[in-house]
C-alpha cells in the first residue's frame, strides 16, 4: 500500500475525487494526511473521510525557508511514500523538494510545457488556443518544469470562460492523477531514486 500525503490550497475538488478513488479497497494507495498552506476549504474533505489534516499557513512565517522547514516537518511526520500537490498554489521551497524528490507529483490544468504557473486555464484562454489540456508532472523545483508522467488534451469550446474551461479540465486531471498514483503504487511507473 502506497502512503500518500496530499497538499492543497483551495476547494480541493480534485482531492475529493482522489479520496473517493483511494477509499476503494482495491486501490493500491491510501491518503495518510492532507495539508494546506492556508485555512483551505478543501481540508473539510479530509475530515469527511476521517483523514488527518494540517495547515502550515504561509503568512504565519517570516520567510519562505521557515515555512518550508515547518511544512517538511509536518510531511515527515506522516512518512509518506508520495506527496501529491493537488492545487497547491505555491512553489515548494527547495528544501522540501530536496528532501522528498522524486516522490512528489503535481497536477496542472494545462498541457505542459504550455501555460505553466498559477493561471494555466486563464493563460490558455487569453492565448486563443483551440485546445489545452491537463498534466501530471514530477516536481523538480521549477515552476511546472518537471518530467511529464501523464497528459491529455481538452478542447476549448467557443464561449468558454475560465470557469467553464476549468470545469471541463478538472475531471481529466482527476482521472490522470488517480491513474498515475495507481501506476506508481504498482511499480508500473518508477519515479527514480
Q: What residue number has its CB nearest to ligand GAR?
A: 87
CB 137 within 8 A of CB 106: yes
Nearer to ligand GAR, 40 or 77 (CB): 40
CB 95 within 8 A of CB 81: no
Nearer to ligand GAR, 14 or 32 (CB): 14
What is the total count of residues that contact ligand GAR (CB under 6 A)?
18
Place of cell 522547514: 69
* 35 near ligand GAR, judged by CB under 6 A: no
Nearer to ligand GAR, 60 or 118 (CB): 118
Could you give the count of Cα atoms lying within 13 Å of 177 in the half-sphere of its Cβ?
A: 31
Name the residues annotated as catalytic.
108
Nearer to ligand GAR, 88 or 185 (CB): 88
Binding-site residue ranges for (6R)-10-formyltetrahydrofolate:
64, 89-92, 106
Contact positions with ligand GAR (CB under 6 A) in 43-102: 86-87, 89
Contact positions with ligand GAR (CB under 6 A) in 10-29: 10-15
Ranges of beta strands (E only) in 9-77 are 29-36, 53-55
CB 109 within 8 A of CB 30: no
Closest residue by Cα to residue 12 from 179, 39, 160, 144: 39
Could you give the count of Cα atoms lying within 13 Å of 154 in the half-sphere of its Cβ?
A: 28
Binding-site residue ranges:
12-14, 64, 89-92, 106
**Minimum distance from residue 109 beta carbon to ligand GAR (Å):** 4
Give the cell for residue 73. Answer: 516537518
Binding site for ligand GAR (CB under 6 A): 8, 10-15, 42, 86-87, 89, 107-109, 118, 120, 170, 173
Amino acid at each position: 500500500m502506497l502512503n500518500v500525503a496530499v497538499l492543497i490550497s483551495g476547494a480541493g475538488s480534485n482531492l475529493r475525487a482522489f479520496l473517493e478513488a483511494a477509499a476503494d479497497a482495491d486501490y493500491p494507495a491510501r491518503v495518510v494526511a492532507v495539508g494546506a498552506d492556508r485555512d483551505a476549504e478543501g481540508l473539510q474533505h479530509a475530515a469527511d473521510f476521517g483523514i488527518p489534516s494540517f495547515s502550515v499557513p504561509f503568512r504565519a512565517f517570516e520567510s519562505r525557508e521557515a515555512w518550508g522547514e515547518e511544512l517538511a516537518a509536518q510531511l515527515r511526520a506522516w512518512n509518506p511514500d508520495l506527496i501529491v500537490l493537488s492545487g497547491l498554489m505555491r512553489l515548494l521551497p527547495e528544501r522540501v523538494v530536496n528532501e522528498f524528490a522524486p516522490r512528489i507529483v503535481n497536477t496542472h490544468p494545462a498541457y505542459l510545457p504550455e501555460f505553466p504557473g498559477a493561471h494555466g486555464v486563464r493563460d490558455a484562454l487569453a492565448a486563443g488556443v483551440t485546445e489545452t489540456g491537463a498534466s501530471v508532472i514530477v516536481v523538480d523545483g521549477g515552476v511546472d518544469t518537471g518530467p511529464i508522467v501523464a497528459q491529455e488534451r481538452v478542447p476549448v469550446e467557443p464561449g468558454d470562460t475560465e470557469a467553464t474551461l476549468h470545469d471541463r479540465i478538472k475531471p481529466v486531471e482527476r482521472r490522470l492523477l488517480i491513474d498515475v498514483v495507481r501506476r506508481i503504487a504498482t511499480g508500473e511507473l518508477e519515479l527514480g531514486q
